[in-house]
C-alpha cells in the first residue's frame, strides 16, 4: 500500500511511499531533520527506506495528520522528533494514550484531547484506529544522545510481516460553523451619534460575540458590562423606527410614564417613575435639579432605583434600571444609566428613549444643554426566540468610516526617515520618526495614539508603503 496524503500533500516530504514509518518533525524544519537522520545513519533511500513521509505538526494540524493516518493504515510507527514548541507532541501522544472528551467552544460541539487544550472535531477519536501506530520519541535531535536514540529506534524496528492491512478510512472534515466569534465578553464599548445607530451596533456585537447561556426563563445570547455611548441623543423619524418594528408613539408614552412618580398599579410590582420620584421618600429628579442649580459642577447627582432590602429578597418584580448619574461635562448635561439586566432586541431602545426624557426634563429645569447619554448593561442578551430578528439587523451592517477622536495622522519620508505627524484639527500634537515601520507601529500602540481599528489598519498600510519607498529610494506620497 502506498502512502497517499488526503491533506497538505504539498507540505509533506515523501521518502519511500511504500514505507511503514511516519516522521513527525514538530516545529523543526523538515530539511534540518533529514540532515539529522542522515547523520544518525537512517536509511533514506527512496527504494529501501522504512520512512514513508515526513511532516511538521504545529498544533492545529492534528486533525489533518490523524485523517492522513486513517487513510494510510500501513503506517505502523510514528517517530516524533524535533523542537516541541507548542505541546503538539503531547497532543498527539495523549490522543492515542488517553483519548478525547466531549467539549464545546464558540458554540461548536467538538472533542478535546484529554490532558491538553487541543481540540479536534467531533468525528475524530482513537476508536477509529483499528491498529493505532506506535509512537517513538528520540528527542529533539540536537544532542548526540538524541541521535543515538534515533539510530537505536530504527535498528530495532520490525518490518511488517505481511498481515492483512485495515481498509483505508477517508474521514471528511466537517464544515466549521461557529455560533459566536472569540473575544472578551466584558470589553465591548460602542460609541455612535444616534440611538438607532447604537442599537444596531449593539445587536451586531451580540450576534457575533455573545455567549450562549442557559437561564430558568430560557436560553440567551449574552454579553456582560457593555458600555454604549450615544453622543447626540434625539428622537428619530417614525419611519426609521417602524422599519425595525418600533412605534414612536409608544416610545412617547413610555417617556411620559417614566417621569410619572405615581405608584404602580396592583398588578405591577414597580414603576421606574415611582422609584425615581417617590418610592424612597424623595423626588430624585427634583433634588438633582436643585443641586445643579446651586452648583453646576456638582458630582453628587446620583439616583439609585435598587432597594436592596426588597429587591434582593423578593421572588420577582425587580427593576432592570438600577441607577442614574447626572454630570455637567464640557458645558453639557450628560447622563449615565446602569441596567442590571437588559433585553437588547425589544427593550434597549425603548429604555433609551426613557433616558432621553429624563435628561431633557433636568436640562429644561436647569437651563443646560444636553450632552451624551451613556448606558452600562451588566447583563445584556438576546432571547433565542428573537435571534433571527437580531441576525437580520446585524446583517445590515455596512462598511463605515468613523472619525477617530484620538486625531489623524500624516505620513511622510524626510531625511531618510519615516515621519508620522499626529494631528488634532490643524495642530501637530506629536511626531514619530524612524527607519522601520515596525518600530513606529509599536510606539503608536504604546501611546494609544489611535482608537479605531479601521484607522489603525489604514495607517499600517501607509507605514508599510513608506518603508518600501524608503528602501527603494523612491518618492512617497500618502494615499
- Interval 258-313: pLDDT, tens: 999 999 987 678 999 999 999 999 999 999 999 999 999 999 999 999 999 999 99
Same domain as 365, residue 217: yes
- What DSSP character marks residue 317? -
What cell was used for 431? 511626531
Q: What angle do CA 410, 413, 418 make, to 5 degrees?
A: 80
Quick check: 225 and 186 in contact, CB under 8 A?
yes
Reading the block at residue 239, the C-alpha cell is: 419611519
In the predicted structure, residue 107 carries a pLDDT above the cut 80? no
322: domain CATH number is 3.30.572.10
Residue 4 lies in a domain: no
Strand partners, 434: 418
Quote the crossing angle between the two packed helices 437-446 and 453-472, to the nearest 10°: 150
Counting the structural domains of the chain, the total is 3
pLDDT tens, 313-324? 988 789 999 999
403 within a domain of the structure (yes/no): no
Q: What is the span of the domain harbouring residue 310?
A: 189-395
Q: Cα–Cα distance between 68 and 64 in angstroms, integer?
A: 6
pLDDT band at 109 (very low <50, low <70, confident <90, very high): confident
Find the CATH number of the domain harbouring 94. Answer: 3.40.50
What average pLDDT does range 430-435 have in this prediction? 96
Query: Which of 371, 395, 419 represents a domain boundary (last residue)?
Result: 395
146 and 246 together in one domain:
no
Whether 133 and 109 map to the same domain: the answer is: yes
Amino acid at each position: 500500500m502506498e502512502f497517499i496524503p488526503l491533506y497538505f500533500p504539498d507540505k509533506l516530504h515523501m521518502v519511500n511511499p511504500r514505507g511503514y514509518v511516519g516522521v513527525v518533525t514538530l516545529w523543526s524544519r523538515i530539511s534540518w531533520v533529514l540532515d539529522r537522520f542522515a547523520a544518525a545513519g537512517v536509511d533514506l533511500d527512496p527504494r529501501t527506506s522504512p520512512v514513508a513521509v515526513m511532516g511538521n505538526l504545529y498544533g492545529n494540524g492534528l486533525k489533518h495528520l490523524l485523517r492522513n493516518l486513517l487513510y494510510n493504515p500501513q503506517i505502523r510507527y510514528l517517530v516524533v522528533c524535533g523542537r516541541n514548541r507548542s505541546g503538539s507532541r503531547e497532543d498527539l501522544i495523549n490522543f492515542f494514550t488517553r483519548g478525547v472528551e466531549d467539549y464545546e467552544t464558540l458554540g461548536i460541539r467538538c472533542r478535546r484531547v484529554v490532558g491538553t487544550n487541543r481540540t479536534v472535531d467531533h468525528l475524530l477519536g482513537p476508536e477509529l484506529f483499528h491498529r493505532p501506530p506506535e509512537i517513538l520519541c528520540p528527542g529533539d535531535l540536537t544532542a548526540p544522545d538524541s541521535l543515538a536514540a534515533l539510530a537505536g529506534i530504527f535498528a530495532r524496528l520490525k518490518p511488517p510481516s505481511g498481515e492483512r492491512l485495515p481498509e483505508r478510512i477517508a474521514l471528511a472534515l466537517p464544515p466549521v460553523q461557529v455560533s459566536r466569534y472569540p473575544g472578551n465578553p466584558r470589553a465591548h464599548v460602542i460609541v455612535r451619534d444616534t440611538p438607532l445607530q447604537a442599537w444596531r451596533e449593539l445587536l451586531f456585537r451580540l450576534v457575533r460575540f455573545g455567549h450562549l447561556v442557559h437561564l430558568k426563563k430560557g436560553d440567551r445570547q449574552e454579553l456582560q458590562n457593555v458600555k454604549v455611548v450615544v453622543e447626540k441623543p434625539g428622537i428619530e423619524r417614525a419611519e426609521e423606527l417602524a422599519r425595525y418594528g418600533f412605534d414612536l408613539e409608544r416610545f412617547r408614552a413610555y417617556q411620559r410614564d417614566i417621569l410619572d412618580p405615581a405608584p404602580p398599579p396592583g398588578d405591577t410590582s414597580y414603576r421606574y417613575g415611582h422609584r425615581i420620584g417617590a418610592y424612597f421618600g424623595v423626588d430624585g429628579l427634583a433634588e438633582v435639579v436643585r443641586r445643579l442649580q446651586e452648583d453646576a459642577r456638582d458630582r453628587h447627582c446620583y439616583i439609585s432605583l435598587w432597594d436592596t432590602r426588597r429587591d434582593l429578597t423578593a421572588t420577582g418584580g425587580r427593576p432592570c434600571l438600577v441607577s442614574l448619574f447626572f454630570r455637567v461635562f464640557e458645558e453639557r448635561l450628560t447622563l449615565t444609566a446602569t441596567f442590571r439586566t437588559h433585553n437588547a432586541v425589544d427593550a434597549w431602545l425603548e429604555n433609551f428613549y426613557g433616558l432621553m426624557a429624563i435628561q431633557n426634563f433636568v436640562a429644561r429645569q436647569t437651563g443646560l444643554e444636553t450632552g451624551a447619554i451613556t448606558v452600562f448593561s451588566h447583563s445584556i442578551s438576546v432571547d433565542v426566540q428573537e435571534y433571527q430578528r437580531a441576525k437580520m439587523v446585524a446583517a445590515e451592517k455596512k462598511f463605515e468610516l468613523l472619525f477617530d477622536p484620538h486625531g489623524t495622522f500624516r505620513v511622510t519620508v524626510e531625511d531618510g526617515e519615516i515621519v508620522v505627524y499626529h494631528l488634532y484639527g490643524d495642530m501637530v500634537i506629536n511626531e514619530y520618526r524612524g527607519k522601520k515601520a515596525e518600530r513606529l507601529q509599536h510606539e503608536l500602540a504604546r501611546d494609544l495614539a489611535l482608537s479605531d481599528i479601521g484607522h489603525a489598519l489604514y495607517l499600517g498600510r501607509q507605514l508599510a508603503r513608506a518603508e518600501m519607498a524608503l528602501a527603494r529610494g523612491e518618492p512617497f506620497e500618502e494615499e
